[in-house]
Structure 1
Amino acid sequence: MRDHEEIATKQSQLQTYIVHIKEPEGGPDFSKSEDLETWYKSFLPATSTTSNSQQRLVYSYRNVLTGFAAKLTQEEVKAMEEKDGFVLAWPEKAYHFQITHSPAFLGLHQNSGFWNGSNYGKGVIIAVVDSGISSHHPSFSDEGMPPPPAKWKGKCAFNGTICNNKIISATNFVESLPPTEDFIHGTPVASIAAGNFVEDAGDLFGNAKGTAAGMAPHAHLAIYKACGELGCTCSAILAAIDAAIEDGVDVLSISLAADHSDPFYVDEITIGAFAATRKGIFVSTPAGNEGPKSPSLSNGAPWVLTVGASTIDRSIRTTAKLGNGDILMGNHFSS
């Protein structure tokens, strides 16, 4: 009896689903966002009032897929399957963070060679889908930065208070607050991708002295906050990718991964990356922090660059003195 009650309760509980639908052939023009949203709402339960329908619809997607994210019960999803145009629905899952000496380690030099010849990424717009950004960090100074390219369609939310010619866009998809953070994850990710040159950077136990810089220090940054302190929801990640495509970015940096790999057709980053790639956008994703075990690779779709670090050339050394006087050398991560 209790098992039946638990099943019934689960079937009636609201949770966020990603709903993929098929656009009708020869159907209405959905060039206006409000028309597209109205059509999406027609798939929601008929018992929903207008206000409830608005609350149920979480995100409307235009570029990453034809579909939406909505709060639904299992029973409502089952009923939706009978509607003309329905393709697939699946419950969203959580994604997790995966995380400046890299230029020198890769043999890039500031005044000569490939790095200099590429103009340090000048004119390129890199979208970072992550936990926001600490805009006051010196890596995000716009010194020497031109205005964004004319093709740029993005905007800076919250009265533009955190934007400049380096951070040209900042949008939040998780809460009605500025897309800022306190160095959780998005700030280092953005600075590694496109942090400006910062001379006399501080050192840590003799490491990282000198000039800090990202891989494309003269590129523009477009920030899409899809994650909070506890992680990320796939519906927000899809919405962020959808907006980045619409805004006209050149590169998508997504340093996020799920706990396990799903088939491509229900993997949100894979779906969003495919839509971005079709628009000519380069997508970079992490191989993940899991392993070593099989299978532990994340983001393995053939249309993304899957990045994994095999080695580094520096370490923070420490010693441990044993009771018998022996001294052991090793690495440590904090002091």
Structure 2
Amino acid sequence: MLDTGIKPDHPSFNDTKMSSPPSRWKGTCEFQHPYSCNNKIIGARDFSVVDKNETRNPLDEYGHGTHTASTAAGNFVEGANLFGSAAGTAAGIAPHAHLAIYKVCDTDGWCPHTSIVAAIDAAVEEGVDVLSISLGNPAPLQFYEDPVLIASFRVMERGIVVSFSAGNNGPEYYNVINGVPWALTVGASTMDRQLRATVVLGNRQLFKGEAAYQPKDFRQEFLPLVYVPNCTSDDSLKRSKVQGKIVVCDYDYNDIDDADAIKRNGGAAIILVNMKQGESTTTAVANSLPSADVGYADGLEVKRYINLTKKPKAKISFQGTVFGDDRAPVVAAFSSRGPNIASPGILKPDIFGPGVNILAAWPTSVENKTNVKSTFNMLSGTSMSCPHLSGVAALLKSTHPDWSPAEIKSAIITTADVVNHAGKPIEDANSHDASIFATGSGHVNPQAANDPGLVYDIKPIDYIPYLCGLNYTNRQVGLFWNHNKVHCSRVRSIPEAQLNYPSFVLNFTGGELVSQTYNRTVTNVGLSKSTYRVAVVPPVGIKVRVVPETLNFSMLNEKRQYQVTFTRLATAPNKSFVQGFLKWSYCKYTVRSPIAAILQGPQSWN
């Protein structure tokens, strides 16, 4: 885990029923007394220290790293909850996996590239199997411009799976980060669990929101309602006379500060309204006041009611932890979307997983000036979905130690779920069918990924013609490949979509009715004797031809090739992109590859 460190004495990191570190492990422990490593945390180092005279200590004072580490591999903790909500037994995705901690961020959350790269190099030498990096640049860069992405290539070469967060800049297109094809790039989704807080207006309009702090003694009665444009300002709050009122605030990333300021000025409760880009993705925040976080459209209705009503009033009722939202998983509004600006021919994000209201370990007591305390906290972001996939990768590495990073990625991608709990297409936060550039291949299905039938492999050397095909210079490609000098003029460069990736992205932005043909190789990891048949749902206006239509296998690890030709038809719609998929099926196996055809340049998107 590359993050802000860890709180080693949290119950999530007890080593009950944990085995000893593997004999190949070479890590060290830099905790200062009284903290130490154990059979759960087998290594902990601090790369955030710049001053050589400063004591190194991987202790987490920020929270992010403790949260992500317990999400990926926290041990079982009974009675986990946040202020009584989401109560139950907490565990990470891979609860029996060992943790190696690399602190790369300071107490302010600043994570310099130099610290991250140094930690990556150390992790490789010390013997990690999976590298989880819930970090990234604020905007996408060309691969050769990002030292972390360059370093991640060396990680992949050593057989280590790298999992990156996709970024929190959704819902606009072309803003996914960490989009290299040799790593997993992970988007975020909701779960079917909600911490329900319902807002009822004086006109009986009702809006469902969420809240982590749900006091049982909060008065279930109508109170005066007021909208304050700047809820952090004491002056604004005093002028608005918030004493005894429910205060409506616009979400501004400082909602805890908003609640504290409102409480100081005598406010009774707070309704947080999402920003426009937040759409209907609601978060359960540990505020110091009773609160409800509502979606953007609902918030507009609340503010409209205030503007049109002489004496507006509202009440907030708390329903506690509610399960069974059959719309789940929904793509979080904040989850960054593709296409991948540095390499549009590679589908990113690859996958998405739980990243909204994730309950996980926290290094300090979450009390927020209430009388209730918790050592767990809820956070939202692709930083939270990334360690879910890191945990899945660790499980797959355990059951399939011979699989390459590309094969583990392939198993995850080709077995992903594309329908929600109601059996309908996965939606975005606006209740529209989610696009392929929001979901990638779909929502992770760990059980299916463990037995995918077929996998697509990519060797490290295969990425060199791909990088040359991006029109990188010899020097730029050489940043990734340290074995010998690269001469792209001597390399048979390939277009992006020719890489043996388990998905397809086609560039038809020229508008001409042309064909593109690509080859793929699959390896049989299912039943030794098997016959897979192809089925295609082509993108609208795109003809898809697969040769052969049947793949016969007589043994495990046998490889077969197929060829796909995509042709843009005159009937192609006037849209930014269209999407479809192809799948190979045999008995219980369905090996699905998403297809995206980009029809217009970036200027026509969003």
TM-score computed with the length of structure 1 as normaliser:
0.58
1:195 matched residue in structure 2: 74
Which residue identity lines up with residue 192 of structure 1 in the other structure? Answer: T
2:209 matched residue in structure 1: 330
The answer on 1:259 being equivalent to 2:138 is yes
1:212-251 C-alpha deviation (Å, 9 max, x unpaired):
1001101110000001223210110000001101101111
Distance 2:119 2:44 in 1: 11
The answer on 1:221 being equivalent to 2:99 is yes
Distance 2:207 2:141 in 1: 44
Give the 3-state SS of the residue equivalent to 2:66 in structure 1: helix
- Deviation (angstroms), 1:320: 2.2
Identity %: 51
Question: Residues 331 and 214 of structure 1: is their aligned pair in 2 closer, same or farther, counting only changes over 3 Å?
Answer: same
Distance 1:165 1:304 in 2: 28
Distance 2:206 2:130 in 1: 48
Distance 1:326 1:261 in 2: 41
Which residue identity lines up with residue 94 of structure 2 in the other structure? Answer: A
Q: Is 1:134–1:187's contact at 8 Å kept on the other side of the alignment?
A: yes
Gaps in structure 2 of 5+ consecutive residues: 50-54, 212-283, 291-606
2:169 equivalent among 253, 278, 290: 290
Question: Residues 320 and 190 of structure 1: is their aligned pair in 2 closer, same or farther, counting only changes over 3 Å?
Answer: same
Distance 2:60 2:144 in 1: 32
1:13-52 C-alpha deviation (Å, 9 max, x unpaired):
xxxxxxxxxxxxxxxxxxxxxxxxxxxxxxxxxxxxxxxx
1:179-223 C-alpha deviation (Å, 9 max, x unpaired):
11135200010001100111222355542x221100110111000
Distance 1:284 1:154 in 2: 20
1:211 equivalent among 78, 89, 102: 89
Instruction: Give the structure with the larger helix fraction.
Output: 1
Q: Is 1:174–1:227's contact at 8 Å kept on the other side of the alignment?
A: yes
Give the 3-state SS of the residue equivalent to 1:257 in structure 2: coil
Give the 3-state SS of the residue equivalent to 1:189 in structure 2: helix
2:47 matched residue in structure 1: 173
The answer on 1:311 being equivalent to 2:204 is no
| RMSD of aligned residue pairs (Cα, Å) | 1.8
Flag the structure with more relative contact order, 1 or 2, with Cα contacts below 8 A and sequence separation at least 6. 1
Give the 3-state SS of the residue equivalent to 2:151 in structure 1: helix
Q: How does 1:92-103 map to 2 (within 5 A)?
A: none
1:77-97 C-alpha deviation (Å, 9 max, x unpaired):
xxxxxxxxxxxxxxxxxxxxx
Which residue identity lines up with residue 76 of structure 2 in the other structure? Answer: F
1:275-303 C-alpha deviation (Å, 9 max, x unpaired):
00000111111111111112110111000
Give the 3-state SS of the residue equivalent to 1:186 in structure 2: helix
- Deviation (angstroms), 1:147: 1.3
- Paired positions, count: 207
1:140 equivalent among 13, 20, 23: 13
Which residue identity lines up with residue 150 of structure 2 in the other structure? Answer: I
Distance 2:62 2:71 in 1: 13
Q: Is 1:205–1:316's contact at 8 Å kept on the other side of the alignment?
A: no
1:154 equivalent among 27, 38, 56: 27
Distance 2:130 2:9 in 1: 23
- Deviation (angstroms), 1:331: 2.8
Give the 3-state SS of the residue equivalent to 1:256 in structure 2: coil
Q: Is 1:171–1:179's contact at 8 Å kept on the other side of the alignment?
A: yes
Distance 2:111 2:101 in 1: 15
Distance 1:311 1:219 in 2: 25
Q: Is 1:202–1:210's contact at 8 Å kept on the other side of the alignment?
A: yes
Q: How does 1:45-84 map to 2 (within 5 A)?
A: none
Give the 3-state SS of the residue equivalent to 2:57 in structure 1: coil
Q: Is 1:321–1:328's contact at 8 Å kept on the other side of the alignment?
A: yes
Gaps in structure 1 of 5+ consecutive residues: 1-127
